[in-house]
Amino acid sequence: MVQQLSLTTQVERYKIQRLLLTLETLTGNISSPMHKHSVILKPRYPFTPENIPGKVNQIDSYRIRMNRIWEDGYPIKFESIDQIGADIFGESITKPSENINSSIWTLQLSDIPAGGKNSVLIQNIYETTIYQTDDVIGYLDELGYMHETEFWTNGVRFYYGNVILELSHIYILDNKTDAIDVDLNITDGSNTTNITSKLKLLDGSGNCHVKAYVNVGALTDLESVSLGIKQLESLKRELSEIVELHIPDRTVMDSRINSRIANSGSSNN
């Protein structure tokens, strides 16, 4: 289990270049690319325990997020802002292929972030990596999970002390253009386009998502936690001229099925 301490923010499109330069100067390093394909899974069947009076049911069911490398279909670098409207493709979990089934996937399951007066968000993440399989969807099906939604992350990472900084654009399936995709296959004739689907930006304005986080491996490692908080706070101060890192709303980060907190949160929006 990892305790993740984090701060997030949104950056407008025209500010991205400036932030990239600042981070290069601050960290003394160029960024490394990050291409991720994430799938959100939910239990196939609802969990409906018996209601015996006097017996308190404490078992929750959770969504699972699974990540793998987004290997094919991203023609643009994150830094090339001008090309934000360009065609982007990804292999969707809805079209199972050998590539999807034999990829290395990391399963992540998270608690709702801790409440209270912290200067950063603290969330427990349980994680295991599927290293070897030839039918990941089959296994997850047997496990009792099915896919709910999926997204693709195109971004860059910076390392600053223990802090990892991620700037990213999120893409989702562009359902409207499925028909066009088929046409493309005929003209193109290549294998890659056959199995990939067209994607679009989740946020069409081209604003980017920024996340700064520290992972602490051991639950009892309070020293690293306080060090991580300090490092995040100092980073926040250093970047305050360009972006304002803040604590994200914990209630929308609840991955439990039928969660009252998450539901009340979303109904307010």
Footprint on this chain of another protein (rule: CB under 8 A): 1-2, 4, 32-36, 43-50, 59-62, 67-70, 103-104, 106-109, 125-136, 138-139, 141-144, 157, 164, 166, 215, 217-218
| Least separation in angstroms between CB 146 and another protein | 12
* Closer residue to another protein in complex, CB, 184/210: 210
* Closer residue to another protein in complex, CB, 141/188: 141
| Least separation in angstroms between CB 226 and another protein | 17
Q: Can you tell me the distance from the alpha carbon of 89 to that of 75, in angstroms, rounded to the nearest whole number?
A: 8
| Least separation in angstroms between CB 242 and another protein | 22
* Closer residue to another protein in complex, CB, 14/47: 47
Helix (H) or strand (E) holding 138: helix 136-143
| Least separation in angstroms between CB 153 and another protein | 8
* Closer residue to another protein in complex, CB, 1/182: 1
Q: Can you tell me the distance from the alpha carbon of 18 to that of 26, in angstroms, rounded to the nearest whole number?
A: 12
Helix (H), strand (E), coil (C) string for 162-222: CEEEEEEEEEEECHHHHHHHHHHHHHHCCHHHHHEEEEEECCCCCCEEEEEEEEECCCCCH
Q: Can you tell me the distance from the alpha carbon of 208 to that of 156, in angstroms, rounded to the nearest whole number?
A: 11
